[in-house]
Amino acid sequence: MAGGATVDEGVARARVESGGAESRASRDTAPPGSVAATLTPLLALLLGGEPPVRFAFWDASETGPDKSPGTVVLRSPDVLRRLLWSPDELGLARAFVAGDLDVDGDLYETLRALHEAAPSRFRLGWRALGAALRSAAKVGAIGRPIAPPPEEMAPARSRLHSTGRDASAIHHHYDVGNDFYSLVLGPSMTYSCARFADEGTTLEQAQASKHDLICRKLGLPEHRGLRLLDVGCGWGSLAIHAASHYGATVVGITLSHEQAERARERTEQAGVADRVEIRLQDYRSLGGESFDAISSVGMFEHVGTAQTARYFTTLHGLLGPGGRLCNHAISTPGGSKLEGRTFMNRYVFPDGELVDVGEVVLAMEHAGFEVRDVESLREHYAATLRCWVHNLERHWDEAVEIVGAPRARVWRFYMAASANGFADGGLGVHQVLGVVPSTDGESGMPRTRSGWG
């Protein structure tokens, strides 16, 4: 696997040492009594038929189609043991994060094939659980529960989307090390969907293009020196762009200590520290201030449905007539909560919620905004995530040294799976532009998109 963890040495030897046609013939054989022969019926039950991809096991036996985009590698019987004690998506996630389960080959296509074959949310039914128990006994996988990898965030006991719980969730995802994020995100240090205007656009150019699009939608080129609030400012990239190119005075807020520290360093390096203030602050504590424009990029996913009305009402109260808000957020049809015993909730975005873009528009209107534009950047996010995965794989050893192999595996898997989600339309990302109209109905908006400059 380029840049990633290698496959089990026993499996690798079975593939490489024999060579040629003999190797291929041996790969297509699951000897009686082998792990592959024992687990093939269970795989058929879980996947609803013949495995769509190749599976390789810790005894060097394999099963599945020879022509496969990749191979799912089970390095240890601990995969089954974890699954027996957590017979759902969380059991599989723990096996993957621990390194007992991996993918060798084309990660995107392998995940796509498995997603198309398996249910949308994995959970063992009673029949499959019984089959798994019998199979586990045959291959020596019965045993006490195994402690989950330490990167898992335990279920919170405090109220959902309370300020303290939100701060903990943000810390879990964003405070894993600025050096790690610089490897993954590249020089732009921007953790949100880029905008690839042309075929040959680099990631850094695409992120700058996204930043400039938001600035133009907010009217910064037309009215230089505006006061901008950047909610969820990350490492300060948009704030720096707005101050550098359009003379904006920017307040950026984040709940991540590490983001705030690096963002302040970057504003100093960019020479705009006199125009950019980075605060460690929750949006709910904003009040008594006024801004000309507000950007919220990749932050709304952490707000939660129950807080949506408060969120937009709070932002509306910070703007005067003609003030604009650009809300850039991931969405999914019908909405989705990243909750419970799922990989994304326990390892990636605790308490995250994706709100249907239609609900976002309605909530903004209820808060008093006039919605003037909705733009989808779905395909752009698929391309962005592939760039991030490529960066991680290219710097794999360094990333593992910084955050450890389990955390690096989490990021590689979640970003690759998300890239597929944006590519097939299961996930979306939208910029919704709203304005606070004056009492006489004047919006101050240009007549067409071309008026954004």
Domain boundaries, the chain: 9-138, 163-452
Give the Cα separation of 257 and 92 in Å (integer).
32
pLDDT, position 344: 75
Q: 215 and 241 in contact (C-beta within 8 Å)?
A: yes
First and final C-alpha spacing in the chain: 44
Q: 309 and 363 in contact (C-beta within 8 Å)?
A: yes
Question: Three-class SS string for 246-270?
Answer: HCCEEEEEECCHHHHHHHHHHHHHH
| DSSP-based three-state secondary structure for 333 | coil
Edge-to-edge strands, sheet with 428-435: 276-280, 249-254, 227-231, 291-297, 319-331, 428-435, 370-376
CATH 3.40.50.880 at 163-452, yes or no? no
Cβ-in-10-Å burial (0-12, 13-18, 19+) of 25 comes to exposed
pLDDT, position 299: 92
Tokens of 309: 């009305």
Amino acid at 394: R
| DSSP-based three-state secondary structure for 364 | helix
Cα 75 off chain centre by: 26
Give the Cα separation of 126 and 220 in Å (integer).
59
pTM: 0.86
* Residue listed under structure tokens 């990989």: 343
Do you know the residue count of the chain? 453
Give the Cα separation of 188 and 444 in Å (integer).
32
Cβ-in-10-Å burial (0-12, 13-18, 19+) of 177 comes to middle
pLDDT, position 353: 86
CA-wise closest residue to 194 among 214, 216, 178, 174? 214
pLDDT, position 25: 34
Output DSSP code: residue 235: T
Tokens of 194: 């880029």
**Tens digit of pLDDT at every position of the chain (453 positions):** 333 333 333 333 333 333 333 333 334 457 778 999 999 888 888 887 889 999 999 999 999 999 999 999 999 999 989 888 887 778 888 898 899 999 999 999 999 998 888 755 566 676 777 777 888 888 888 888 888 887 665 655 555 556 766 566 556 555 577 999 999 999 999 999 999 999 889 999 999 999 999 999 999 998 889 999 999 999 999 999 999 999 999 999 998 899 999 999 999 999 999 999 999 999 999 988 999 999 999 999 989 888 999 999 999 999 999 999 999 999 999 877 666 677 777 777 676 789 999 999 999 999 999 999 999 999 999 999 999 999 999 999 999 999 989 889 989 988 999 999 999 999 999 999 999 998 888 888 988 998 886
Q: 331 and 430 in contact (C-beta within 8 Å)?
A: yes
pLDDT, position 116: 87
Give the Cα separation of 112 and 92 in Å (integer).
16
pLDDT, position 152: 65
pLDDT, position 93: 86
